[in-house]
Chains A and B, each alone.
Chain A
């Protein structure tokens, strides 16, 4: 390999991969996706098909702005968002689990409702038709972490993000610990895999499902408030832009594991960031980059399922062989 090609490769790597601005953008873009992914994860591990993440996120975004506006304090905004997440997911759980509504229908209804209601509320409460932005909305400022920020190279990569970015990382770790190191996490996984097993051992399946849905509401609303208060302090129509569903995609692609969700989100965040660059350089239109999570999910589902079928077939073989020993 001659030095010219080497230089070209180094140049590409430097511009796309080792570019601090890109990497920072990647982590920022990944944050709402990670949270949306956790939202999907916690309910899917409990055996619940939750497609209302999008709507919950939107409510979180709106109430975040409302809280930050009226109290001129970003912390209140975050708290308001989380509260809205609990209320919306609480209602969702109540209707789907207790009143036995079809959970898909409920999910679609919540998404449509959230879209309409947030526009409606913007008119009603702020008197604005369209995007709402006001200097009085307190935003989430960047946090400089002492010591960390002074590390050469890694420093700017790890320090200087807003609070929710770090929160997302912490939540990923906490979710892992919860699922695999605490009894409640064990119970939740049992409920998701074999609810009858859990029930016959005295575990309250209904309560766990309810809790999972409410937790997902908190995750989704955090994603929402990050969108509205994280960079620009504003609320606009359909702010979530499908991230709730990308959350489902990273959950599936990440195999339902917290670490998998995190890595998948980073991956998609990375691809998204350089996507715009690539479009700028007229290499690939950004739309195909944006399609990646969805296409990847379909591929992953197909591969997982084929593998599962093969494993099941093998297990059946061994069972009937075992049965043969007579």
Chain B
């Protein structure tokens, strides 16, 4: 298809005489078929990724079936495994939902990575510098995490709304600024010991208890913590916001059609900004939860890529709140499984990232699965809207 035809398809909604158009029944059937097509795409991508993964495993000299079995066992096979899966999934649930909120309003928040860290460091500061009873301290620390992430999301958003600068580039820049800023903070003003760049540990009143600290037998040998409950609560709250609040309605409508929303009277600026701030806040919340539950001080977390994985999980989950949470759980448990794998079979745990990467490749390449398109989809013309009108970079 030529450039021109692509543009025409996007924009050329001309007349629509009622003769010769699909009937109501046909239209519904078509949208059902679209759903079917989507599920098949995901399934096929998964299959393709597993197949390629099998080839890699064979090359490594192992039996793919055995490896996948061990993977699943490491993820779900024992009580300990399940705890580890939950623990690994917790930060991903936050970043995945954060990404989803932004996606739904039509913005790509690649800055979740940086917002996660800034939330973590700000929360850590409040965690060790302030002395309060737990009932006040813990919520305050969590709030600090949320605020840190939200503030970090503010600058790229403003640049996008007021100047039309692509949020992709600005958030990538702020991610790196965050990393370096935190390196400075942990090496100088917030440094606890002269030997290693770490902050002082947070006060006991600001900790999220680990299961093993509650009951020695629960989650034994893991660092699983009650942050997972916070994550689930957060998912429920965000889901509720989307379905039942005015703000959630605005986010949804702006994401589905901003010309329509503008026409209806919704303030586009306010919606994009509020969406991004909440997205950043939740990412930051995820950061501090991870600190309070697992590390209890700010250690170098940069190697782990929580934010980017959250982006990918959101995509795997079809950009819905529940979907991303489930995808994050899946991703986290696969990571747990891969950890076990590296102990038992010696395959590096990076195998999981490789496989997830492959799944994403195959899923994102819609054109690859074009042969499925013979399931025709009809209905009124698909509308593609630009997310930021003046975006130039």
Contacts and interface: CB of A to CB of B under 8 A. Distances in A.
Interface of A: 49, 51, 95, 98-102, 104-106, 108-113, 115-117, 119-120, 123-124, 129, 195-196, 199-200, 205, 237-238, 242, 245, 248-249, 252, 285, 287-288, 290-291, 294-295, 297-298, 301-302, 305-306, 308-309
Contact of B180 (A104, A199, A290, A309): A290
A115 B303 CA distance: 10
Contacts of A290: 180
B163 A306 contact: yes
Interface in B172-209: 172-174, 176-177, 179-181, 183-184, 187-188
19 contacts: A95-B365, A95-B368, A98-B367, A99-B367, A101-B361, A101-B366, A109-B364, A115-B350, A119-B348, A119-B350, A123-B348, A129-B348, A245-B172, A248-B172, A288-B184, A294-B174, A298-B173, A301-B163, A308-B392
A101 B168 contact: no
A102 B184 contact: no
Nearest 10 Cβ contacts at the A-B interface: A116-B353, A113-B357, A99-B367, A99-B365, A101-B364, A116-B350, A287-B184, A101-B365, A294-B173, A109-B360
A199 B354 contact: no
Contacts, number: 145
Contacts of B361: 95, 101, 106, 109, 113
A196 B10 CA distance: 15
Given A95-B364, A199-B2, 12 more contacts: A105-B364, A112-B309, A112-B353, A116-B357, A124-B60, A237-B303, A294-B173, A294-B174, A294-B180, A301-B159, A301-B163, A309-B163
A194 to B, nearest CB: 10
Interface in B334-393: 347-348, 350-354, 356-358, 360-361, 364-368, 392-393
Contacts of A288: 180, 184
B172 A100 contact: no
A302 B165 contact: yes
Interface of B is mostly: helix
A71 to B, nearest CB: 21
Given A99-B367, A285-B187, A295-B177, A301 B170 contact: yes
